[in-house]
Structure 1
């Protein structure tokens, strides 16, 4: 228990006054201690004031309040002596600041070892936060970048996808005595009557008949010279030429008996021109290619009627759908028969390439993708050819190429029937093509067909 007795309340202190007041000291008015003020312990000092200032005198009306002291730690005599800090001698300060001899050396921290370098004038240690307008620009830039990547990557991915679906055949394989490379780029384009992939209803609507297999009645060479306009050359199917291993026959017999490989070898040896690419177009899918681009506009100089080809067209300019276009390139209902048909085929092929590469098709995915899909189903190429090779050919033929028919020195009746006999004119013509030089006008045929 605490042996200190509680002090009775002071009757002179007002009841409504402050609860705590600064303690006061009683100064003896008479005796040997008159004027002496005993110091208090540090823990009992109410406020430390500078030593040069004297405490403010207490009001006379207020009697001093006796100070309650903690006598447990008081010194004998009733008060604790005042303790003040004394200055430490300099030699002791130096001795205290020195580390012991056996103590390990103190290591400076990284922060004290490398003082911070003050930043340069005008330089901020942290980048300022982007402004709202700048953030909007950055967000818009990211969106545009994503859209651009989609527009670039998607066509490339679709290109490789459709390229993998192309029908391919070994048409340009090497053989002994093959013609050496010739300047320019040369395509052999073959149209066949293959009905593969057509249903019975499609065969009836397109008037293709029910014959099996594949025979060719359309042979064209596309010559892309090093300079100048490209050429589209028709080789009549009745041209009587030597066929390796078969003797002399009409040139279409090479395809009918030996396929694309024998036809390419026959054309190369007959013309002296190296074939670089091969493309074959059948009945199946031809009409869908034309319909995918929205039809092809052709101008007819005369009405065409051919029940065998399912063709019934009036004269004048008109847009042909797939079935009508197929009938136009097949019909031989002309006075010159096959010679006039090849003219119509060249004009239609040039018009189709121009339509397929127009902005209305290339920039319209609802036309572009069906066209590419239909072309993939209808076209067969060599093992080394790709879809981008076909696209390059279409761009070259979209303008106004020179179209002509390979000349012959007359016709003759042979074991294969009425045939066209090649001669010196034919050799001169293909010599210009083999050298990639412009063909003189006297070797070019007049494009007198029913299509203008």
Structure 2
């Protein structure tokens, strides 16, 4: 009886400490959002009035190695988390080499949109390709990803084929692995397989889905202070604290129900530059069939 009471008191202390830290984070996070225009979405008149069938969160992985600023650089990863009003939820990858015309910069890859026009150009390009209106956006660099995976205690991943690639740092044989943050990043960045970037995008979505499935539960309560510290220091977003809570809740109750999608496209080399050609009409039909 005394032991049970002691466990209960310890648990309540943890809850109180977590609550204090969370409320501190609420104040500091929402103040940061109010003062940071770089993550503010300024919708065009058309997009401002557009209503779609859910909430769409955009996660941008920034390759900060191109710039000393940890939130500047091309977007190495572009993934939309779609929470549908109809109960259909999905993780949708946008190929980073998608060929688009960027206003004022001509033909380019979509991963340059953030460099040339920030969050707003990315949001506009995604809408043109997909008819998806992005509601919230988060920028995270490689360091943030590594820290978050480590704070969550790593992640167990099944590697389907040999991944040995000096460029990404991958050195994994087929089988089940318990990945650290560094290993998870290497796994998610490897393109040295038959389908190149398409395989890489599939691994990224699989890794995120496994993180949701394995970690979206009450066992992460002791890690909440570290997670919030990382989010506050190593990411930029227009997520208000309620948005974090909403995403976490959705992940907890729907963690096994996310559809993993990649915009359909074909690889092509044009003027000695490698692109992925995505037909917007086909992309919209594809998404409507899977999410509508």
Which residue does the alignment assign to 2:23?
A: 160
User: Which one scores higher on RCO, CA 8 angstroms, separation ≥ 6?
Assistant: 2
Which residue does the alignment assign to 2:6?
A: none
Higher strand share: 2
Q: Structure 2 matches for 1:404-415, cutoff 5 A?
A: 404-408=261-265, 410-415=266-271
* Aligned Cα root-mean-square deviation (Å): 3.0
Structure 1: tracts of 5 or more residues without a match: 1-145, 196-209, 438-452
The 3 A distance-change label for structure 1 pair 378 and 328 is farther
Q: Does 1:240 align with 2:99?
A: yes
**Which of 51, 56, 67 is equivalent to 1:181?**
51
Q: Structure 2 matches for 1:279-298, cutoff 5 A?
A: 279-298=138-157
Deviations 1:380-400 (A, max 9, x none): 211656432442454366323
Q: Does 1:193 align with 2:50?
A: no
| Alpha-carbon contact 2:138-2:239 (below 8 Å) kept | no
Which residue does the alignment assign to 1:339?
A: 198
The alignment partner of 1:221 has SS state of strand
**Which of 200, 205, 226 is equivalent to 1:370?**
226
Shift of 1:376: 3.4
Deviations 1:1-21 (A, max 9, x none): xxxxxxxxxxxxxxxxxxxxx
**Which of 407, 412, 418 is equivalent to 2:274?**
418
The alignment partner of 1:361 has SS state of helix
Q: Distance in 2 between matches of 1:225 and 1:257?
A: 31
Q: Structure 2 matches for 1:209-228, cutoff 5 A?
A: 212=68, 213-228=72-87
**Which of 170, 176, 188 is equivalent to 2:39?**
170
Q: Does 1:269 align with 2:269?
A: no
Q: Structure 2 matches for 1:66-85, cutoff 5 A?
A: none
The alignment partner of 2:78 has SS state of strand
Shift of 1:271: 1.6
The 3 A distance-change label for structure 1 pair 149 and 349 is closer
Q: Distance in 2 between matches of 1:328 and 1:262?
A: 29
Shift of 1:339: 0.6
Q: Distance in 2 between matches of 1:174 and 1:234?
A: 22
Shift of 1:287: 1.6
Shift of 1:269: 2.6
Shift of 1:153: 5.5
| Alpha-carbon contact 1:350-1:397 (below 8 Å) kept | no
| Alpha-carbon contact 2:53-2:86 (below 8 Å) kept | no
Structure 2: tracts of 5 or more residues without a match: 1-8
Higher helix share: 2
| Alpha-carbon contact 1:171-1:260 (below 8 Å) kept | yes
Q: Distance in 2 between matches of 1:403 and 1:268?
A: 19
- Find the structure with the greater CA-based Rg: 1
| Alpha-carbon contact 1:293-1:355 (below 8 Å) kept | no
